[in-house]
């Protein structure tokens, strides 16, 4: 397995994890009704997930190849992590929207 492939996989996983963490931070802030800070955290989450996706596109474009089973397994893990984090971030954004709507009704 090439070092470049390992680096790409780790960058996908790392950026996706950062994005997920920022999104959960935003959710925690939303629970405290700090919606100004929520927006900043969500921007950071979007930035990190977009970077992860940009790196993922290198794989889809064929710039990097997976010639071994181990390489395919690593990339599958990275792609699964990216897609799972994207799904969680979408759900977190919906939850924040619900909390924001609830706050507006109370106010």
Which residue numbers are catalytic?
77
- CA separation for the pair 85, 50 (Å, rounded): 11
Residues 6+ apart with CB under 8 A from 26: 37, 38, 41, 42, 45, 92, 96
- Neighbouring C-beta atoms of residue 51, cutoff 10 Å: 17
Helix (H, G, I), strand (E, B) or coil at 107: coil
């Amino acid at each position: 397995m090439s070092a470049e492939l390992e680096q790409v996989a780790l960058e996908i996983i790392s950026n996706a994890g950062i994005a997920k963490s920022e999104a959960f931070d935003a959710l925690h802030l939303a629970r405290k009704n700090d919606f100004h800070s929520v927006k900043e955290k969500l921007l950071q989450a979007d930035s990190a997930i977009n970077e992860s996706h940009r790196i993922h596109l290198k794989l889809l474009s064929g710039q990097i190849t997976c010639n071994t089973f181990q390489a395919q397994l690593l990339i599958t893990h990275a792609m699964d992590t990216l897609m799972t984090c994207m799904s969680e971030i979408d759900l977190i954004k919906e939850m924040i929207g619900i909390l924001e709507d609830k706050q507006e009704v109370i106010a």
